[in-house]
Chain A
Amino acid sequence: MRRKLYLLLGLLLVASMVLAACGSKSSSSSGATSGNAKTVTVTIGFTQSKTGKYNEESTRQSDGLDLWIKQVNDKGGIKLGDGTVVKFKTVSYDDESSGDKVQQLYTRLITQDKADFLISPYSSGLTASAAIISEQYGKIMMATGAASDSIFSKGYERVYQLYTPASHYLTGAVDLLKSLDPNVKKVAFVYENSKFSTAVVKAAKEYAAQQGYNVVMFEGYDKGTTDFGAFINKIQDSGAEAVMGGGHFQDGSTLARQLYEKKLDIKYLALLVAPPDPSFGDLGDAALGVVGPSQWEASANYSPESAKAAGLTWFGPTSADFVKAYKAAYNEDPDYHSAGGYAAGLVLQKAIEDAGSIDAAKVKAALDKMDILTFFGHIKFNTTDAHGLQIGHSMIYIQWQKKDGKLVKEVVWPKEGATAAPLYPLKH
């Protein structure tokens, strides 16, 4: 019996190795000449969190990127000035949402899979690990899903950030509260003890204090917290009228649900990351009135016209076109992670077109000069003290509201982009 099992185990191992050996021969970027036009296939490498805590956000992000690749390739690729046609393909691995393997996998992407350009992993922590490898090999890395400011003051020259950095994430939520109710003075910050959320709330706390708010509570919870009872009691004791904070999707939606279940008497709730996600609406009434900063929303009104008005170059599809294509491909609404993934490809495409080459140095020069408006917003990079930091893009604030008995996301801030009047105060 035991011998048979060993045999089976051995056979399984052998079979798997043989199968893998057959499958792994198709990598490395290739150039093919057909007629006069030369076609070059550019490999884009990244790690995706297929398992672990970042799974949801990371999957949407790579879905967005895949859609961009499919669209570019279906259109016949990018045609450069010298007649070369550039097409794209991706290679990706699972980083398990943990840092253990990120450097190893990025080395693999660069040395073995011959990736020409890189996209960052999801989250600032993993991006910081990957940046060393990309910088060391002189590869350009588009950082999407990584909003931390700190990576960009560490001397990296080839990492480019798509997102509005963390220091500007919740400042708009403070402005919104001020415009809604000047009488509210007591604010509580409850946030996930992670690189990203802490950076956000620290900046927001400073901003709130400047605006005359009294920060009555400033407390972090551990990653993976599922019971916020103690925090909710503390919020109640502090007498806070507004609560801001959160972290990632899981904890943010749990916090919102438990605040609702405990019927906490607060007037305003703004959370990171979770509210803009379409599945946040599944919380039902607990989602009603919750405000969240979003890097992008489908209803955001960036258009070729607004580009002209702002004196910027417009590039890529409109939001409506992007949403339509995304829905057709994945049968769900895109959120900002999806848009960020798509935008990472789009900005890279613009840089390659501007450079007229896939040479890393020329593409880098084009990225440094970039100043465009896309469906994702304004894109411009810092090229001085914090190279690669995003300085063009700005946040949008959404709120879950009820329309004809159905929960919908409405843009409530900034005023010029608003699709509905804010719901205030929160009714728990």
Chain B
Amino acid sequence: MSEKLRQHASLWLSLAVVLIIGLWPIATGDALDRETAFTVLSAIALASSLNILLGYTGYVSFGHVVFFGFGGYVGFYTINALGWSLWLALLAGGLSAGLLAYLLGVGILRLRGAYFALATIGINEAVRAFINNFRPFGGPTGMTLNFSVYKAYGGAMHALELVFYIMVALTLLVTLISYWVRTSKFGLGLLAIREDEDAAEVMGVVTPVAKNWAFVLSAIVPGMVGALYFFKNGTIEPGLAFPLHTSIEMIVMIMLGGQGTVLGPIVGAGGYEMLRDYLLVSPLFKNLQLAISGVLLLLIVLFIPRGLVGWLRQRYAKVRRWLI
């Protein structure tokens, strides 16, 4: 038993961190803590998903928010226009984002380095432009839920609580996926692609297939988070669904925590969101918060380029087992 515990030490640690953030608002019973934890957890879920592609496979996607927005739109549409339940909408959001990733992956994963990064930005803009002109999704006006939709979930208050529990579950799920990928043979193939794609191919990794599945895996949960987020938000429009800066923030979070590790994006996203929340509402900094978080990020990227977890791993050999 203790051997098993030790073997998966880093998984337990990662799950524990997510659980603590998830249980904290339940313990305090405070709605504000719940809202804060929701944004922190959604950041963790998005960053951990992107980490599968960016950290493990070494493909930098600057437009990853496209899956959040697209899944959000599909999920929102199924609730608003088709009258589906939130559960089905989550499924629809995740599957549609995964499908989109699969189709895109076939095309653009052939590109490497800067070309891939540029293509992902282009795709985000292209999908946004498409939705802007797509009538069933409301075009630029977007869609707004009727307040009575929440009645099916025991009123808005309970609906928001339910949304939070689902968010906790999704974040735990993405942590499990991330750990599984990191420790599986499939993940080993991805790491090989990251180090040297041609060498990986020679060693027997079927790189197009592996990359494409990494892309799909990294898109499904963001799609579900999108469906959940916009259900809670009550309104969706292209500007809210495809913000390019969120993509960049996701990358920053991963870099902060340490790319290519399971715990890194969790720590990075959690730390980044909490810092931003704190600066946004602190009486002293609330007018300067963007400048201060910018300076802090610069310092961290300059002096701890491997991210926190990467730095700890490098500095203290003994903790490596705990910090995969």
CB distance from B238 to the nearest CB of A (A): 7
Cβ contacts B135-172/A at 8 Å (1 or 0 each): 00001111011111010000111001000000000000
- Chain A residues contacting B283 (CB-CB under 8 Å) are 20, 23-24
Shortest distance between the CB of B258 and any CB in chain A (Å): 17
Question: A128-B234, A193-B132 are contacts. A111–B32 as well, Cβ < 8 Å?
Answer: yes
Contact present for B278 and A193 (CB under 8 Å):
no
- Across the A-B interface, how many residue pairs have beta carbons closer than 8 Å? 124
Is A132's CB under 8 angstroms from B234's CB?
A: yes
A interface footprint on B201-239 (CB within 8 Å = 1, 0 otherwise) = 000000000000000000000000000000011110111
Separation of A96 and B299 alpha carbons in the complex (Å): 23
* Residue B243 is within 8 A (CB to CB) of chain A in the complex: yes
Q: Of B14-22, B187-195, B286-294, which binds chain A?
A: B286-294
Within the complex, the shortest CB–CB distance from B251 to chain A, in Å, comes to 16
B183 at the interface (CB under 8 A from A): no
A98, B15: Cα distance in complex, Å: 31
Q: How far is the CA of A125 from the CA of B30 in the complex (A)?
A: 26
User: Is A265's CB within 8 Å of the partner chain B?
Assistant: no
A300 to chain B, nearest CB (A): 29
- CB pair B240–A125 under 8 Å, yes or no, is yes
A51 at interface, CB cutoff 8 A: yes
The answer to whether A9 and B240 touch across the interface, beta carbons within 8 angstroms, is no
Contact across chains for A198 and B147 when beta carbons are under 8 A apart: no
Q: Which residues in A have their C-beta under 8 angstroms from that of B284?
A: 16, 19-20, 23
**Docked-complex contact B147 and A154, CB < 8 angstroms:** yes
A94 close to B (CB within 8 Å) = yes
> Which residues of B in the span 9-46 have a Cβ within 8 Å of any Cβ on A?
30-32, 35-36, 38-39
Contacts A94-B286, A99-B240: A129 and B141 contacting too (C-beta < 8 A)? no
> Residue A304 at the B interface, CB < 8 A?
no
CB distance B144 to A50 under 8 Å? no
Query: Which partner residue on chain B sits nearest A25 by CB separation?
Result: B283
CA A105 to CA B279, docked complex, whole Å? 13
Contact of B32 among A100, A107, A192 (CB under 8 A): A107
Taking the closest CB of chain B, its distance from the CB of A97, in whole angstroms, is 10
Q: A99-B233, A103-B233, A125-B240 are in contact. Are A5 and B278 (CB under 8 A)?
A: no
- Chain B residues within 8 Å of A24, by CB: 282-283
Which size bracket describes the interface of A in this complex? 35 or more
Residues of A within 8 A of B115 (CB): none
Given contacts A93-B280, A125-B235, contact A154 B144 (CB under 8 A): yes
Residue A324 interfacial (CB < 8 Å): no
Complex formed: what's the CA distance from A24 to B280 in Å? Answer: 13
Q: Is the CB of A5 within 8 A of B146?
A: no
Query: Do residues B147 and A150 form an inter-chain contact, with CB atoms below 8 A?
Result: no
Which residues, 111 to 153 on B, are CB-close (under 8 Å) to A? 129, 132-133, 139-142, 144-148, 150
Residue of A nearest to B275 (CB): A13
Please name all residues of chain A whose beta carbon is closer than 8 Å to the beta carbon of B232 when the two chains form the complex. 103, 132
Determine how close the nearest CB of chain B comes to the CB of A204; give it in whole angstroms: 14
Give Cα A73–Cα B117 distance, bound, in whole angstroms.
Answer: 55
Q: Which of A107, A108, A111, A195 contacts B142 (CB 8 A)?
A: A195
**Does A220 sit within 8 A of B, measured CB to CB?**
yes
Q: Which of B140, B144, B285 contacts A194 (CB 8 A)?
A: B140
8 Å CB contacts to B: which residues of A1-52? Answer: 2, 5-6, 9, 16-17, 19-20, 23-24, 50-51
Let me know if B316 is at the binding interface, CB within 8 A: no
Assembled-state Cα–Cα distance A392/B52 (Å):
55
- Please report the total number of B residues contacting A with Cβ < 8 Å: 50
Contact residues in A for B132 (Cβ distance below 8 Å): 193, 220, 222
A331: chain B residues within 8 A (beta carbon): none
Q: Is A135 an interface residue (CB 8 A)?
A: yes
Q: Does chain A have a CB within 8 A of B281? A: yes
Q: Establish whether residues A5 and B140, one from each chain, have CB atoms under 8 Å apart when the complex forms.
A: no
CB distance from B39 to the nearest CB of A (A): 6
Q: Could you say which residues of chain B place their CB within 8 Å of the CB of A111?
A: 30-32
| Interface membership of A287, Cβ < 8 A | no
Which residues of chain B are within 8 angstroms of A104 by Cβ–Cβ distance?
A: 32, 35-36, 38-39, 277
Q: List the A residue with the shortest CB-CB distance to B289.
A: A94
Asked if B239 contacts A194 (CB within 8 A), the reply is: yes
Judge whether B146 and A154 touch: CB under 8 Å. Answer: yes
Say whether, besides A101-B39, A128-B144, A129-B234, A94 and B282 are in contact (CB < 8 Å): no
A9 touches B280 (CB 8 A): no
Chain A residues with Cβ below 8 Å from B286 are 93-94
- Report whether A132 and B282 are in contact in the complex, using a CB–CB cutoff of 8 Å: no
| Cβ-closest chain A residue relative to B291 | A51
Q: Which of A6, A100, A131, A195 contacts B39 (CB 8 A)?
A: A100
Q: Is the CB of B299 within 8 A of A5?
A: yes
Q: How far is the CA of A199 from the CA of B141 in the complex (A)?
A: 7
Chain B residues near A2 (CB-CB < 8 A): 303
Query: Which chain B residues border A150 with CB–CB below 8 Å?
Result: 141, 144
Report the minimum CB–CB distance from B196 to chain A (whole Å): 31
Q: Determine the chain A residues whose CB is within 8 A of the CB of B146 once the complex forms.
A: 154-155
- With A and B bound together, what is the CA distance between A151 and B144 in angstroms? 7
- Picked from A9, A93, A129, A155, the residue with its CB within 8 Å of the CB of B147 is A155
Knowing A94-B289, A101-B39, the reply to whether A20 touches B141 (Cβ < 8 A) is no
Give complex CA distance A132, B30 in Å: 18
Residues of B within 8 A of A51 (CB): 290
Residues of chain B with a CB closer than 8 A to A19's CB = 284
Most buried by A among B144, B240, B243: B144
* Interface flag for A327 (CB, 8 Å): no
Is B285 a contact of A107 with CB atoms below 8 Å? no
In the complex, the chain A residue whose C-beta lies closest to that of B156 is A136
Please, which residues of chain A bring their CB within 8 A of the CB of B30? Answer: 111
Bound-state Cα–Cα, A218 to B114, Å? 37
Which B residues lie within 8 Å of A369 (CB)?
none
- CB pairs A–B below 8 angstroms (24 shown): A9-B299, A19-B284, A23-B282, A50-B287, A94-B287, A98-B240, A98-B243, A101-B277, A105-B280, A110-B31, A125-B235, A132-B156, A135-B156, A150-B141, A154-B146, A154-B147, A155-B146, A194-B140, A194-B237, A195-B142, A195-B237, A197-B140, A198-B141, A199-B141
Top 6 closest A-B pairs, CB basis?
A128-B235, A155-B147, A193-B140, A136-B156, A23-B283, A20-B282
Known: A24-B283, A93-B280, A103-B233. 19 other contacts (CB 8 A): A9-B296, A16-B285, A24-B282, A51-B290, A93-B286, A99-B233, A107-B32, A108-B32, A112-B32, A125-B142, A125-B237, A128-B144, A129-B234, A132-B147, A132-B156, A155-B147, A220-B132, A220-B133, A223-B239
